[in-house]
A and B are shown apart, each in its own frame.
Chain A
Amino acid sequence: MRILPFDYAIRNLGRSPLRLAMSVVGSMLVVMLMIAATAFVRGMEKSLADSGSDRNVILLGAGSEESIERSEIKASVPTQAAASLRGVRSTLGQTFISSEIHMALTVGTTRDEQSKAQVVVRGVDLPAFLVHPQVRITQGRSMNPGANEIIVGKLAATRLGMDDAQLALGKTIWFDDIQWTIVGRFTAPNTVMDAEIWVPLNDLKVSAKRDTISCAVLTLDDDGEFEDVAAFVASRVDLELVAVRESEYYAKLVAFYRPVRVMIWVTVALIALGGILGGLNTMYAAFAARVREVGMLQSLGFARRAIILSFMQEAALASMAGALIAAAASLVLLDGVAIRFSMGAFGLQLDAIALAIGLLTGMTLGVIGALPPAVRCLRLPITEALKAA
């Protein structure tokens, strides 16, 4: 099949600068939106997925499997678990079992003035750093118990809608009617912990007036089996516990947010649909004006398929131009932007997949945009086409 020169498609783009501009801008907007939505969803999913490790097991209060913040277990559970369970990792005599309290609290820079957002405050002891190796202190030091000291995660400021400077080392914040001093900053990239505030466990117990903890998180060693933990939980009915793999817990959270993700995708699909319909209109008009030209090309000997291919090249060029601009703009404007969302915060994930999806969208817009109008244009017999206005 003899195909039309690629040059033909390129030159035809310049026929109507206005139409070309409309196509490029339309494609750019839709692709940018697609990239943003993908980055949002991937960021959200990743921060949840990476938060959970396969080798960690969470002991929660029975009935609270869906939400650690709701869970309450006896403070003695970690000790009892350490005594009864084999297969729990330990190093230099320190067992990898972390007692933790997770609470969503409002904090403020002064006693009276509260930020409107809540942040997850996690009461922890030293083992927490062993059980959650993703956490690294980047500035200052870890907190000392009994001194109202805290450390804050990298995205905590975003979470609270505050300036990062307000949570710098040495600054103080208030919650539970107590003033706390920031002695360290940590990062736990792509996990929910990145947006948390960590407090010594006992200090939080005192300030929150509670004698129970939320959960115990333990790390299995190479020989350890989840089933052993499950057996322990089943045998100690008095403790009213339930054991969940940390990765499963966060996977459930990802599933919990499915309606929100669905909503985002539906919105994006609708906007893309609107863009496609507008683009189709433009293409119909563009090709309808060339019916006679198409008849002439056919009379020269070019097959219908060759002409359709050329039209598609033209449309794809315009939409890919828009897509590339969108990709570049997104990289500059969107990558890493922190979003506050439902008790946490995460960064937009503008990775290869998000960009690939965006570019693929651009390509698809071009192809879909050209195909129906091109086919319609070529419907007429050659003699009719040559007579067309």
Chain B
Amino acid sequence: MLTELDEHFYHQTPSPVDAIRDSDPRFVDQHWFQCMDTEGRWIVGANWPIWPNSGIIENGQIIVHGDTQYNLRYSRTLERDGYRSDRIRQQVGPATMEVIEPLRKARFTLDSDNAWGISYDLTMDTFLKPVQTRTPIAFGGPASLPGVLPYFEIMGRWTGELKVDGQTYDVNHENTWGQRDRCWASLGGERWQGWLPPGPGGTVSPRGAGRIHWHSHIQFEDIGFWWWMDEFLGQPRLGGTLADNRGGHFDGAVTWPVDDPRQEIRVVDFTDIDVTAQPGTSKFQSARITLIDEYGEEYPLEFEILKPNATRHIRGEGYGQPRFLGGYQGDWHEEHDKYDLSDFSTYKDFSPQIWDGEHAVRCRFGDREGIGHMEMSGQPPLPQWGFF
């Protein structure tokens, strides 16, 4: 069926844009963001997966305020309205998102008409040049049907307003930093686990004993860093590519402010890694790493969580949920829950791994101080850090 999108010169297959020629039901096209108060008082993030072959758009919202994580999950079917395509109408229940200027500006909103009464209107202006994985990420799964995911990320500064728990936060470029990303994939979403035989090391990223996953977006005023690591310490690793899921792999980039004439530099290796947990828990506290770029230059970086519970736990967005991420739940579906982040005894229900979550961190690079995001998890044994 033709839509307005077919008037444009951007087809990739001999089929209408709305009709994916590859009928893989795992095909997803997704927006995602996380923005962080630089004092660690709150974090907001959401995912926006569209599943064209299943005819579904989903939206998972996480708002961390103080010691509470609020979660909202929505799903609806994609519908056509005349020649309009729903693939570019990101509106699900009370939530919307809009690319205002490609790669430069995007707006995310949540109306207060939701189970938690939280609302926001947040716009990200790109601050650092977008970076893309050098190769598509090869996710776990069997060799017969691996997940493949091209992926790029944009770091920026935010404006707008957040209302939560009776408080209103003014959001501006100085007090709110963060990032958004875009990926489109044939991805082993949670709905397809069980369809496929187990692959090497798991079903999403390579997993297994002794594995560290560390995915970061780090901003300073004059430089930025992005990397993705799945590491089995002491085991072989491919550096500079994520296109292999048999063991450790690592990719990254050094990026610059958008108007800086310098081109990105790929990060191909790292050393001097250390991670510290909060006392008596496996919750992330601090870390350090030295990145090594393609020319051999080293970038020693240090991180400290902004507040003990400045972490989003993405099960709240639907990751790991048995029904979300690609599952048809009727023309409309919504659900909500919340996590008490001050009670570590409950973490096993939503964040069972070591250092688990999407942390808002203060960063240091020489004399520079910045803000960053750390998506991190570890699987024992990691004896050097006391986890056996």
Do A and B bind? no
